[in-house]
């Protein structure tokens, strides 16, 4: 039993030391700088976001939007986003009610996503149980990243649950406003 405890302790030390690495981008020193970094207007940022369902037919299955300079556009013909490829499509301007604060998607953007080293990421099990997924893409003057997020909150890190719900809520509000 003592050898087992020692083996487990050594294994844990090795795992912790291997998994620790500097996830900072642009040498960001603290969370305050990350929050400043996420301010879209100052970095000419674009956010592409949407929701998709795999086993689905019709217009409801994929909805993709682009937000830049407080202007919202919708993909003319939404197609399911592909992992490893940034979303390409034709977008047209749409008008949404002033009651829908779409800029929250920038102001509440999770800093952990911007700090990650990966350019393309899948977080959770998006659409694995036919519950859909969230597509998210961030682009500014220095950075371009893509994420596929699970709509099932049980499969997400707690830091992303509220933001994923926010995206889903905004899509529902936009669809209801059209």
pLDDT at position 178 is 59
| Letter string b/e over residues 32-56, b meaning 16 or more CB atoms within 10 A of that residue's CB | eebeebbebeebebbbbbbbbbeee
Q: Which residue, 64, 72, 86, 177, is CA-closest to 139?
A: 86
Copy the structure tokens of residue 10.
Answer: 């050594």
pLDDT at position 60 is 72
Copy the structure tokens of residue 96.
Answer: 């949404």
pLDDT grade for 175, boundaries at 50, 70 and 90: confident
Does residue 85 surpass a pLDDT of 50?
A: yes
pLDDT at position 122 is 93
pLDDT in tens, 23-80: 333 444 334 434 444 455 557 899 999 998 877 776 678 899 999 988 899 998 877 7
Number of helices and strands in the chain (H, E): 6, 7
Mean pLDDT, rounded, for 76-89: 84
- Tell me the domains of the chain and their CATH numbers: 28-177 (3.30.1560)
What is the reported pTM? 0.74
The H or E element that residue 111 is part of is helix 111-115
């Amino acid at each position: 039993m003592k050898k087992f405890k020692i083996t487990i302790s050594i294994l844990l030390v090795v795992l912790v030391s291997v998994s620790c690495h500097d996830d900072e981008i642009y040498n960001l020193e603290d969370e305050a700088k990350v929050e400043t970094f996420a301010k879209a207007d100052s970095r000419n940022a674009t956010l592409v976001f949407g929701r998709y369902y795999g086993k689905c037919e019709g217009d409801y299955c994929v909805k993709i939007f682009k937000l830049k300079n407080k202007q919202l556009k919708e993909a003319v013909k939404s197609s399911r986003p592909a992992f490893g490829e940034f979303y390409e499509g034709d977008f047209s301007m749409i008008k949404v009610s002033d009651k829908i604060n779409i800029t929250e998607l920038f102001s509440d953007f999770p800093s952990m996503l911007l700090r990650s080293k990966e350019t393309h990421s899948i977080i959770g099990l998006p659409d694995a149980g036919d519950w859909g997924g969230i597509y998210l893409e961030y682009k500014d003057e220095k950075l371009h990243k893509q994420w596929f997020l699970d709509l099932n909150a049980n499969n997400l890190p707690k830091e992303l649950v509220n933001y994923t719900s926010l995206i889903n809520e905004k899509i529902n509000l936009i669809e209801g406003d059209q």
